[in-house]
Copies of this chain bind each other. A is one copy, B any other.
Amino acid sequence: MSSTPTAGARPDEVRRHNRTALLRRLHVVGPCTRAALATELGLNRSTIKALVDGLAESGVVEERVPRARSGAGRPSLLVLPQPLAAVVLAVDIRVEQVAIALVGLGGQLLGRDSWNLRGRAGEPAEIITRIIESTRLLTEELGVQVVGAGVSVPGVVRRGDGYVHEAPNLKWTDVPLGDRLTGAFGVPVRVANDAEIAALAEHLRGAARGSLDAVYVSADIGVGGGVISDGTTLRGTAGYVGELGHIVVNPDGRACYCGSHGCWETEVGELALCRALDLPEHSPRGIVVAELRALSTDPDRVAATLGDFTRWLTLGLITIVNVFGPELVVLGDLFTALPPALVTDVAAAIAERSLVSRAIGGTRVVTSTMGADVKLIGAAELAFEPVLDLV
């Protein structure tokens, strides 16, 4: 609940609010009858009819007789979002690869492209040019125009204008990414931290669907987290929220580039995993994953090899659970390859040692099942947020 004075609302804003709510429902959850829309949105049937008629007229939705009929009487028409009515660009910038996708209303992936950065990272201008070029090719190929864009960056991003303050693992500092892409595409562009974007994806279409309080944490070179609090993605005003990788878990730990010692990132990130597994730092991801998989079959070796890693993973998660009180923790990216027994142990430790977890009746810990596209999917949803108001 807001605790500050808020602005008033005018009737035209109410109509727009209702239209956006309806469109959002169709976009996120899928086709739905008018009757169900009325119930779910708490609006009367004539309001729903007016909204759906308006949307159908402008081609944003289509109405169809549902295939399977149940009960007697006239069937309630099914309202379907039309993918081509609003297409957004989703961009996932990673340390080793950039992926782009065009995503239609309703979440359908219409086309994609990606390229490796290996050995060429650190050149924002080059990456931005390539994103713009690849998007042009893809939109021409599909004969569509994008109405918005969402971009995932592994760094500290300012919400208002998509300014990348620092993306250390990309070696980016002070990159006006949002402004550059807005200038090129002429549509609203939103840029956010990759973990926040993954949390959004998990919340709308993944393991955290329906969760009101959930935390997504993931590791590759960096460690990050995104927080769903009371049903909403948590972002500070400036957009710098949830740098969970810089929770200090080990006061006597390794120096972190941020100025602290023993940040969660330095103790449980991909480099820490490489060291624990006796692999060279920056070993290829496939080798790290293969080592973790091999370990999984041997519980004694898990404890011997990943004992310290497990300790720091657990301490960071206990702090996170006590701070945010999530009913669910979703482990993503490299963490999805952790031995299942290790994840079970971590969950048990949280149950024993977190006051808040006990108070809320327990915190489930699961690994993400959304696969490698989670950040593309989240970036598309970020792009759709302002767009659904305008379609």
Contacts and interface: CB of A to CB of B under 8 A. Distances in A.
Contacts of A233: 1, 3
A231 B2 contact: yes
B235 A230 contact: yes
A246 B352 contact: no
Contacts of A251: 249-251, 311, 315
A237 B230 contact: yes
A178 interface: no
A319 interface: yes
Interface string A321-332: 011111100000
| Residue from A43, A229, A236 with most neighbouring chain B CB atoms (10 Å) | A236
Interface string A352-376: 1111100110000000000000000
Contacts of A319: 246-248, 319
Contacts of A17: 6, 8-9
Contact of A156 (B18, B315, B355): B355
A241 interface: yes
Contact of A246 (B9, B231, B234, B356): B356
Contacts of A11: 11, 14
B356 A232 contact: no
A259 interface: yes
B325 A238 contact: yes
Interface in A220-257: 229-238, 240-244, 246-251
Contact of A322 (B1, B9, B247, B315): B247
| Residue from A8, A47, A243, A250 with most neighbouring chain B CB atoms (10 Å) | A8
Interface in A184-243: 200, 203-204, 212-213, 229-238, 240-243
A291 interface: no
Contact of A260 (B235, B237, B260, B354): B354
A258 interface: yes
Nearest to A19: B8
Given A233-B1, A259-B355, A319-B247, A18 B24 contact: no
Nearest to A322: B246
A248 B10 CA distance: 47
A106 to B, nearest CB: 13
A62 B21 CA distance: 38
Interface in A41-93: 41-43, 47
A241 B360 CA distance: 10
10 contacts: A5-B24, A14-B14, A165-B359, A213-B236, A230-B237, A240-B360, A241-B324, A243-B325, A251-B315, A260-B318
Closest 10 CB pairs of A and B: A212-B237, A240-B325, A259-B353, A246-B322, A258-B355, A236-B325, A5-B25, A8-B18, A8-B43, A213-B236
